[in-house]
A and B are shown apart, each in its own frame.
Chain A
Amino acid sequence: DVKVTQSSRYLVKRTGEKVFLECVQDMDHENMFWYRQDPGLGLRLIYFSYDVKMKEKGDIPEGYSVSREKKERFSLILESASTNQTSMYLCASSFGQGAREQYFGPGTRLTVT
Chain B
Amino acid sequence: AQSVTQLDSQVPVFEEAPVELRCNYSSSVSVYLFWYVQYPNQGLQLLLKYLSGSTLVESINGFEAEFNKSQTSFHLRKPSVHISDTAEYFCAVRSPRQGAQKLVFGQGTRLTINP
Give the A-B pair count, Cβ closer than 8 A: 55
Name the one of B42, B51, B98 contacting A106, with C-beta atoms under 8 angstroms.
B42
Interface of A, secondary structure class, is strand
Spell out B's residues near A (CB within 8 Å). Answer: 4, 6, 9, 32, 34, 36, 41-46, 49, 51, 90, 94, 96, 98-99, 101-103, 105-108
- Is A75 positioned at the interface, with any CB of B under 8 Å from its CB? no
Give the residue name and chain of the B residue nearest to A4 (CB): B43
Task: Determine the distance from Cα of A43 to Cα of B91 in the docked complex, in whole angstroms.
Answer: 10
The answer to whether B42 touches A101 (Cβ under 8 A) is: no
Q: Are B43 and A107 in contact (CB under 8 A)?
A: yes
**With A42-B108, A43-B90 as contacts: A99 and B43 at CB distance below 8 Å:** no
Q: In the complex, A94 Cα to B94 Cα: how many Å?
A: 13
Q: Are A45 and B102 in contact (CB under 8 A)?
A: yes
Cα distance A91–B99 when bound, in Å? 20
